[in-house]
Structure 1
């Protein structure tokens, strides 16, 4: 092979390499230029996905296309701002919050809601459930929604609490009395009691009554009454009494157990009783001597004749209201309180008196009647009243009722 041929072959090979390099360089230039031009047509946007932000460049024409390019599937309950049909512009801010279904239990009723909110309060607001400060919400209103997406609401209701007699209205979500007392930090002492069962159920308007019971002891010294002993005395006129020995009260010490409910005493029981000073009994002599009637004051006995003597010089003088009666009046037996038989002795002057004013058996003088004995009593004869014995009803009617002066002689 000639030298010329070899040189010619070398130059042809070199030219082919130069062409290939040129073609590759041109292709690379075109590709780079195209890439630069393509990248230059992308738009920068801010995309917030469930609270996390990122800056991205996109050729997407709408928000929906952009989200699809990011493998984000938008459902009807999701929050997309601006809307999926919004055209992409450079610098646009896009927010997508994925919705979640939340189960809500309000007392005995169940419901659910789709929400894009992050807190319990957001979900309740989405479900149009209004809660008050007294309601019990779990989890708390400001808590983030849990993974199980479940909310429980116990609605509070008003009940009446009576503790130790003091009443007040209380809002509660407790369903039993025991739970209510625990939540209100109400402690019952050993003797306290509930008017009702601790495991009883509560409902609006219920009344929880706590009775505070207190047991205390008290030692009291009290007077002890004396006994009264009566003794028959044949020397005293019947109807008269005489104190032989005055009574004197003693002293006794008593220890009481006192039970109080809500501060008021409900029972008192004697635990110990001790006599400090014995009482002295009172002895009273009761007359048993019967008055013996006589036709004249000159004879023995206490009867007085019907003479109208002038007023005696001595004795206690006073005025009384006087009426008259007979031994045959309605309901009368004819025998006086002191034992005088007026039917057998119709002319005796006897008056009925109030023994607390004029002692029975007293000899008296009555203006217009004369000397007499206080030998009877009467149901209507009280205080400054007397009733004069006369033989007949006509005399009684004639006497009527009048003010008279009288004296107690003996």
Structure 2
């Protein structure tokens, strides 16, 4: 009974294991086989840093890597020695029955580096020599050269060439270089016409306008002025200047010239060492001269001269005079001689501040009236007080004793502004 049961269980277990294996192969192994990606033709770039003593080992490693892969593929390889990139090559591997002779690629690269050092080019600048095919078993490796970077010197020459092309003037075919140069200079130096203000006077009427002509004759020709039997001033060949006045005279008028004297000026130097009022000529003056151009108009019964132009031909020289100002004081009216100076104290008064009616000698109070001590300064004496001005002694007061004076002001505000001051009192002649 037990033997029959075992015979039935074994086939069922085998059948179950077979189903499990089929399911595993269906969901995991078969999709991988169906959708497996073929190896790409381009491999990522690799950098091989070589020491001069490892050149042969690197070459052999490249050959082994190329021989171990099936099917064509492309590979970018940068060969670096120390801190310099010797070459950047693209390697294409193909199956081929014929074997190309092997060439020492690294030796060529090393020669390139040596030549770069000799010429002084940058370390990353390579040569354009193609890397020959490498010998593989059953495969041929083709190499393609990557264009190296251009030297800095070549870039500088290119920029200089571009600048030369920009600065080089355009030339016309069939024309000599000198003619092209002259034509270019003429086109660049074209003059800009400047309009200048001019005034034209004729028949007693003046007209103002602007013109770009350069001479008086060209202006009159443009204005279509009839010059038959007429005189023009200034002459026709005169250059045009700003504000030039052109006179066209009548037929019976003519020009005349005359030299006219110009009076000289007088320069006065105030000398405190000279007696007041004394004058002394230090340098004589010289008269100047002007050349005057007249238009002479002749009419029945009379002649008339009209000044057209005046030119200075000799400048006058001023006369220098010294004027004595000894014992004088500078006032708003100039230097005034005084008899003596009294140093005293000055106060101020006005209407309503102790003043009423007329002064002690019957004068009406106003600015310029000063109260004094008649024993020191007599009435009606002319005075000059700096800061106050010209005055006259015309009043007195009980508190005005000695060298004290009281100045009349027009307002109480002015009295407060003046206050009490020490002043110089000039007794004038």
TM norm. shorter chain > 0.5: no
TM, length-normalised to structure 1:
0.23
Question: Could you say which structure has the higher helix fraction?
Answer: 2
TM, length-normalised to structure 2:
0.22
